[in-house]
Amino acid sequence: MAAKLLSVACIRSGSGGGRGSLSPARPHYPSMPNYPKAAISASSDEEKCIQESETRALFSVTGMTCSACAASIEKAVKRLPGIKEAVVDILNHRAQVVFCPAFVNEEKILETIEDAGFQAELIEEEINERSTRVCRIRIQGLTCISCSMTLEYYLVAMHGVQKALVALSNEQVEVHYDPRILTHNQILEAIEDIGFEGILISNGEDIRCKIHLQVEGLQTENLITMIKNSLKALPGVQEIDFEPELGKLTIFYDPDLTGPRDFIETIQSSELGNFTAMIFPERGGRKAHREDEIKQYFRFFLWSLVFTIPVFLMSMIFMYIPRINHGLETKIINMLTTGEILRWILTTPVQFIIGRRFYIGSYKALRHGSANMDVLIALGTNAAYFYSVYSVLRAATSPSFESTDFFETSAMLISFILLGKYLEVLAKGKTSEAIEKLMDLSPETATLLTTDREGNVLKEEEIDSLLIQKNDVMKIVPGAKVPCDGIVVWGQSHVNESMITGESKPVAKVKGDVVIGGTLNANGVLHVKATKVGSESALSQIVRLVESAQMAKAPVQKFADLISKFFVPLVIVLSISTWFAWFSAGKLKGYPKSWIPSSMDSLELALQFGISVVVIACPCALGLATPTAVMVGTGVGASQGVLIKGGQALESTHKVNCIVFDKTGTLTIGKPVVVDTRIFIDTSPQEFTSLVAAAEVNSEHPLAKAIIEYAEKLRQDEAYHVWPEARDFESITGHGVKAVVQSKEVLVGNKSLMLDHNVTISQDAEEILAEVEGLAQTGILVSIDKELHGILAVSDPLKPEARQVISILKSMKVNSIIVTGDNQGTANAIAKEVGIHTVVAEAKPEKKAEKVKELQDAGNIVAMVGDGINDSPALVAADVGMAIGAGTDIAIEAADIVLMRSNLEDVITAVDLSRKTFFRIRLNYIWALGYNALGIPLAAGILFPSTGFRLPPWVAGGAMAASSISVVCSSLLLKNYKRPKVLDTLDRQGKLSE
């Protein structure tokens, strides 16, 4: 808990004793927990700086001639500290940069662009975070990567849309838009105009607490208005939406002031009328939508089988049964047979009713000038069907023409594709199981306790967990799940937090400890006071983080996007060329007539090859190669307590070859204690520490806390004590503190602080300081009235796994470096103990970022591992920022990777999981490209001249469906990921040491 309070203290002016603390403005990276107002006393200016820690700037750039120019500008800008995002639009000659003003400003960005060789000027246009909203929409009709690229292209072109991310793997789109220009309803309408159906999942306001209620009895506008006015009269109610057709009331509110039970009580009050209100039953949702889609495809497939199986039997089997064949070959009109009529009748519903979805998809794609998988399917099946119709009609009008139809090709092709889509949707549903499991962690009900002022329990009541309000006291029995984030107010137990943090060992909980919603109470009864409910809870934040991660594209996805632009047109050209080549060769007698099967002529043989080329080509496999692997990888990471923010973080992490570690709280436990005191002046330890504690009491730096705790222990015999008043308190960043106590000037800090204030350090003091630092302890010097009075030796124990983790990273060819604000001696001692050779000590926050940039300039891909506040400039500057020890407060706008446990082993897990995920992505690409590279020539008949082998169109269609399934199943193998076995050995050693 002390570590968390430290995180808040570091953003305050004058805090920290100066030993590695940051400047007053809170950096953007990473976000930290919201604490009670009493715990933070920041000024209004500082609070404003915190709220506006992320700024957008738009620049006009001239001199760009190609994409390489844009890439060089992006690279140069991203090297600056505090840059979160830099996007260069070469077509409009603009660059948009998202940055933290605490570390960089517009002038520096302008200078960097100009240093890169281009002219730039700032466009005075206010684009800040508050003018951006993000909505997430589920898309129906998204069949392949061409569809997703078309949708993305048209959405980005809309005025007011800043960014659109389409995820083919989970059929969703995330749109970043300006609410002053657009509404989410207009975006939904645009999606419908593009040719898809959109279902709103979230409208960009879900970060606010909200509740959906079903209200019965609201039949007139007057009643609706009356209810709305009554609810708005409640403190904390911000916005109310009502959907009359569903009777659904959505209320946005401040959970500190009110909650859902207050709303239900207000609605059902007898004064207003006879109304009933309850939690709105959610019939939809991700899981329900996926199940509906699976059932729909399965139903279509079964219906197609009803018609296709008889067609297949008539075309392939019955011809070998004389009696049946005789009936099928019976002539009706001229050369038209009974079998041809039956096949025509049975195939038509498959082609135009069951296969209607492919016509719709093709029309929508072609209407917007693009071509997708539906176009290929429609071309292939139409070619087979309409040629067959032509052949049948010609046979009916000719006394000599013998028809050869391909009705079985059309019907079987559609059936196989539907089977493939069914299996693909089934497999894709499993890629998002991680989120579904997280969402299922919250219990449906909770036991609410009603207590009196003395805390005595008056009543127990079981309520829906969605009705929990802040400050409610909940009873958690053994074996029950914790329904919300809260603080234990009574009882003791062990809680299994593995489902949230990945920590397998149950954590002891006593009064005052924090518990996380969704965790499992093991053996004792707990009374928990709710502190975070709804979207504020750690579980909700984790779900949002994982959802965002799964929406984000990995840079490697650009490869598939580039190929897909030309894929379908190229396949159509290859198909026509194949047909023309075989047809011309047949007419010009380029191959022996014996090659042509007896049941067809050269035109029909050429047509079969052309259709096979169309239907075997599969752009879907390419489109699914990256996002499915990223979805599974980020989901697995969440289950391991490693939250990875999407494909960008995954891709960067697998390339990491250098990791920069902070010392305090990262390599060490982060709870320093005073282990020795050396006093040079004749004074009692109590009097000496009393002056030091008085100077440090205004600081919340961990070293300051250690000194105060030590001073309190020395005065245990006193029932009540107050430290002397400290006046003129000053925090000197990176050095220490200065104050006037009992008319004496007290300096507490490092050697630099003493030298800066002309305090003489004797030879004996130098030797003691060297001795302390040689023991991996921090020596804190104390000066009173310009005279050195003593040295406090503070030790921060090394984490037990630190040495082994550094050794394992070395075996993974990852170099480790320590960059710390602590003194050189202590840093060297810690480095020697863990096996790190490169140390940068006494580094201020900006120097840490400079060291990261220096390593990057040397060609390294750098990860920074730190506590997320003092190290934030370096975390932002690094290619991958890892915030360690995030605990229960998940920072949504924080690091690239959030390690939920304060455990260094998770650094290895993050790197290893990233490498395994990208190995799987590469494997997926090899399979997808290899499939098309081998399949298209086979379908075109490359082996037919030498072996007589040809690929019938319906077999080619089955192969196409199988390719997508294989890529998804390949990604699903990541679900079997196990962290390196050596970490299990570390766990066992850790348990033995405990």
- Over residues 580-622, the pLDDT tens digits come to 999 999 888 888 888 887 767 788 888 889 888 888 887 777 7
Which comes out higher in pLDDT, residue 371 or 272? 371
Q: Is the pLDDT of residue 685 over 90?
A: no
Q: Is the pLDDT of residue 207 over 60?
A: no
Cα distance between residue 87 and residue 94, in whole Å: 8
Which comes out higher in pLDDT, residue 21 or 307? 307
Q: Are 908 and 983 in contact (CB under 8 A)?
A: yes
φ, ψ of residue 966 to 5 degrees: the values are -65, -40
pLDDT confidence bin for 501, thresholds 50/70/90: low
Supply the pLDDT for residue 983.
76
Average pLDDT score over residue span 285-309: 83
pLDDT confidence bin for 273, thresholds 50/70/90: low
Supply the pLDDT for residue 827.
85
Give one DSSP letter per residue of 857-901, joined into a string: HTT--EEEEE-SSTTHHHHHHSSEEEEE--TT---TTS-SEEESS
pLDDT confidence bin for 400, thresholds 50/70/90: confident
- Over residues 626-660, the pLDDT tens digits come to 888 888 888 888 888 888 877 788 888 999 999 99
Supply the pLDDT for residue 52.
42
Average pLDDT score over residue span 759-763: 87
Cα distance between residue 471 and residue 518, in whole Å: 18
In 3D, which of 440, 545, 536 has the Cα closest to residue 211?
A: 536
Supply the pLDDT for residue 341.
93
- Over residues 853-864, the pLDDT tens digits come to 899 989 999 999
Average pLDDT score over residue span 386-396: 88
Q: Highest mean pLDDT range out of 100-104, 215-219, 817-821?
A: 817-821
301-315, 345-359, 953-967: lowest mean pLDDT where? 953-967
Which comes out higher in pLDDT, residue 724 or 661? 661
pLDDT confidence bin for 347, thresholds 50/70/90: very high
Helices and strands in the chain: count of H runs, count of E runs: 33, 36
Q: Is the pLDDT of residue 578 over 90?
A: yes
Supply the pLDDT for residue 107.
84
- Over residues 445-465, the pLDDT tens digits come to 889 998 877 777 888 888 888
CA of 281: how far to CAs of 214, 248, 382, 466, 868, in Å? 8, 10, 44, 11, 40
Cα distance between residue 521 and residue 927, in whole Å: 46
Supply the pLDDT for residue 46.
36
Percent of the chain residues past pLDDT 70, beyond the cut:
84
Average pLDDT score over residue span 571-579: 90
Q: Is the pLDDT of residue 948 over 80?
A: yes
Q: Is the pLDDT of residue 23 over 50?
A: no
Q: What is the pTM of this model?
A: 0.65
Supply the pLDDT for residue 430.
67
Supply the pLDDT for residue 870.
64
- Over residues 711-720, the pLDDT tens digits come to 888 876 665 5
CA of 479: how far to CAs of 495, 507, 525, 557, in Å? 10, 14, 10, 44
Supply the pLDDT for residue 553.
66
Supply the pLDDT for residue 17.
37
Q: Hey, what amino acid is at 994?
A: E
**Could you tell me the sign of the dihedral formed by the alpha carbons of 252, 256, 260, 262, in that order?**
negative
- Over residues 894-933, the pLDDT tens digits come to 568 888 877 888 899 999 999 999 999 999 888 888 888 8
Supply the pLDDT for residue 124.
57
168-177, 318-327, 376-385, 903-912: lowest mean pLDDT where? 168-177
Supply the pLDDT for residue 39.
31
User: CB atoms < 10 A from the CB of 359, how many?
Assistant: 16
Q: Highest mean pLDDT range out of 18-32, 530-544, 681-695?
A: 681-695
Q: Is the pLDDT of residue 744 over 90?
A: no
Supply the pLDDT for residue 602.
84
Q: Is the pLDDT of residue 887 over 90?
A: no
CA of 532: how far to CAs of 455, 477, 490, 901, in Å? 21, 20, 18, 20
Supply the pLDDT for residue 36.
32
Q: Is the pLDDT of residue 216 over 90?
A: no
Q: Is the pLDDT of residue 991 over 70?
A: no
Q: Environment class of residue 312 by beta-carbon count within 10 Å: exposed (0-12), middle (13-18) or buried (19+)?
A: buried
**Which positions are annotated as active-site residues?**
662
- Over residues 43-78, the pLDDT tens digits come to 333 333 333 456 778 888 877 766 667 777 887 888
In 3D, which of 532, 525, 538 has the Cα closest to residue 489?
A: 525
Mean pLDDT, all residues of the chain: 79
CA of 562: how far to CAs of 549, 555, 558, 937, in Å? 22, 12, 6, 22
Q: Is the pLDDT of residue 35 over 50?
A: no
Q: Highest mean pLDDT range out of 36-45, 238-247, 941-950?
A: 941-950
Cα distance between residue 249 and residue 217, in whole Å: 12
Q: How far is CA 98 from the centre of its chain?
A: 19
Q: Is the pLDDT of residue 687 over 70?
A: yes
Percent of the chain residues past pLDDT 90, beyond the cut:
10
Cα distance between residue 221 and residue 236, in whole Å: 24
Cα distance between residue 900 and residue 500, in whole Å: 8
